[in-house]
Structure 1
Amino acid sequence: MKNDLFSIGPFTIHGYGLMIALGIVVCVIMGTYRAKKHGYKEDAVLDIAIFSVLAGFLGAKLLFVLVEFDRFLENPMQVLGSEGFVVYGGIIAGVLAAVLYCRIKKLSFLEYFDLLAPSVSIAQGFGRIGCFLAGCCYGRETHAFWGVTFPEGSFAPAGVPLIPTQLLSSAGDFAITGILLLYSKHSKQKGNTGALYLLLYGIGRFLVEFLRSDDRGTVGILSTSQFISIGIVLLAILMFWRNSVRKKKEE
């Protein structure tokens, strides 16, 4: 809605960047607090956060380039220098970085995935508020009371009431955080909290995509993110199934 929040001398504070930074800070604080509470290594949480964030930005940009590949071939620097990112690319790259770190340090990835899943979700919630401020990831035109009209200078079309898909996604991410925190108190099966995060986020993202109107690539009749969401949900179901089989064998 307002990407340029304020300026300090020659520096301008952008709403999108501020929300991303705030989300990362909250993610790290929550992660280290829960690590200390549950007896995990706090320094490992910080390392995983740093490497996953760096890999996440690269992955999000890489997937954006793939989605906008035709435009990238025409003008590579315009695409690389734009503010475009695809969240799923960041999630996938961030998870791979965490897996690699845990293998090197001989830590259980699933245990740390369970621990950090609520933190990742709350960071995404703040990130989507940043999307709302910038006007990216906007929804379809609507005449309903909840329509939001973006000003000139936003990524969204100006002067047209649109579905606030960014705020819907943000509310969903914060809700997932709460659900995961409650679920983790009762589930002792390693990997289930992480699987629940993948399941809920995948379903939520698949549904929200129907309301979006920005150009984000397609795979057949589905958007790129919907296609990936199907794979994420199937992976979550596979994780639940494997954990169930493992639990029965242990019993």
Structure 2
Amino acid sequence: MHNELIHLGPITIYGYGLMIAIGVLLAFRIIVYRVEKQRLAPDHLSALTMWSLLGGAIGAKLLYWITIGREILADPAIMLNLSQGFVVYGGIIGGLLAGYVYCRWQKLEFLRYLDLFAPSIALTQGFGRIGCFLAGCCYGEETDSWYGITFHDSDYAPNGVPLVPTQLLESAFNFGLFFLLIRLGKGTKANGLIAGIYLMLYAFGRFMIEFVRGDNIRGHVGYFSTSQWIALGMVAMTGLMLLLKTRKRSSVLHS
């Protein structure tokens, strides 16, 4: 609701950036704790985290540019604004690709590390959506229901009309997903299982929330938004991956 939280002379601390920072720091601390508890070597954590964050930022920006391709063709100067305009799914895909490249380079088990990172990714997204709420972006459609949230000084959301609080809905969903993944991650699990559960559940939740999103910045293809099509593709690919791993594990046990 108020993105400019603190003014310290010429320095302004924005709610969106603060929430992202809190989410990343807390998520990294949880990853370190889980690595120590599982007695794994922590040598690559910092580098893998930085690679994933950088890949995520690039992916989020690239997908945003793709969704506003027509506007960019009309005014290429839009691309010079690097501080605004990111798409979460692009961040997830970019982060995963960067992490995969790093693990291949360092000869690490990608799926094992992805299982460690998955709960923290959900946690960071939960804080990130609180940041979206403070900034007013990623808002919901207009509603007459009791749970509607009205913005009065937003640069992104319509002001003066009650909107579905999609940011808070997705934040609560991501926090719940974080606790579920932590719970499921206890004990020995097949590599990739926790990550697969995260990707499928997040895709399902995002697919449903998209129906009440009021901003059209992500674009639409037919009846579904760009994010919903990506969600469907992610469910299909993740389901196939888990099926293949289950069959491979079953064949090994019976050989």
- TM class by smaller structure: over 0.9
Inter-partner Cα distance in structure 2 for 1:199 and 1:74: 37
Answer yes or no: is the 8 Å Cα contact 2:2–2:153 preserved in 1. Answer: no
Query: Counterpart amino acid of 1:111?
Result: R
Equivalent residue runs for 1:222-237 within 5 Å: 222-237=224-239
Query: Counterpart amino acid of 1:175?
Result: G
Quote the residue 2:114 is aligned against.
113
Quote the residue 1:142 is aligned against.
143
Distance apart, 1:152 and its partner CA: 2.1
Inter-partner Cα distance in structure 1 for 2:108 and 2:197: 21
**1:27-85 per-position Cα deviation (integer Å, ceiling 9, x unaligned):** 11111111111122223122111111111111101100000001111222224416111
Quote the residue 1:219 is aligned against.
221
Equivalent residue runs for 1:80-159 within 5 Å: 80-81=80-81, 83-159=84-160
Equivalent residue runs for 1:180-191 within 5 Å: 180-186=181-187, 188-191=189-192
Asked if residue 57 in structure 1 is aligned to residue 57 in structure 2, the reply is yes
**SS, match of residue 206 in structure 1:** helix
Quote the residue 2:71 is aligned against.
71
Asked if residue 196 in structure 1 is aligned to residue 217 in structure 2, the reply is no
Distance apart, 1:241 and its partner CA: 0.5
Distance apart, 1:133 and its partner CA: 0.3
Inter-partner Cα distance in structure 2 for 1:79 and 1:134: 21
Inter-partner Cα distance in structure 2 for 1:109 and 1:58: 20
User: Given the two structures, how large is their TM-score scaled by the length of structure 1?
Assistant: 0.97
Answer yes or no: is the 8 Å Cα contact 1:117–1:194 preserved in 2. Answer: yes
Distance apart, 1:186 and its partner CA: 4.8
Answer yes or no: is the 8 Å Cα contact 2:151–2:161 preserved in 1. Answer: yes
Inter-partner Cα distance in structure 2 for 1:33 and 1:186: 15
Query: Counterpart amino acid of 2:56?
Result: G
Q: Tell which deviates more after alignment, 44-53 or 61-70.
A: 44-53
Query: Counterpart amino acid of 2:251?
Result: K
Answer yes or no: is the 8 Å Cα contact 1:110–1:191 preserved in 2. Answer: yes
Inter-partner Cα distance in structure 2 for 1:2 and 1:75: 29
User: Given the two structures, how large is their TM-score scaled by the length of structure 2?
Assistant: 0.95
Structure 2, unaligned runs of 5 or more: none
Query: Counterpart amino acid of 2:22?
Result: L
Q: Cα distance 1:240–1:187, how it changes in 2: closer, same or farther (>3 A)?
A: farther
Inter-partner Cα distance in structure 2 for 1:37 and 1:111: 14
Structure 1, unaligned runs of 5 or more: none
Asked if residue 6 in structure 1 is aligned to residue 44 in structure 2, the reply is no
Answer yes or no: is the 8 Å Cα contact 1:187–1:193 preserved in 2. Answer: no
**1:196-229 per-position Cα deviation (integer Å, ceiling 9, x unaligned):** 0001000000000001010221122110000000
Quote the residue 1:39 is aligned against.
39
Query: Counterpart amino acid of 2:97?
Result: L
Distance apart, 1:236 and its partner CA: 1.7
Q: Tell which deviates more after alignment, 54-63 or 34-43.
A: 34-43
State percent identity of aligned pairs: 47
Inter-partner Cα distance in structure 2 for 1:165 and 1:120: 19
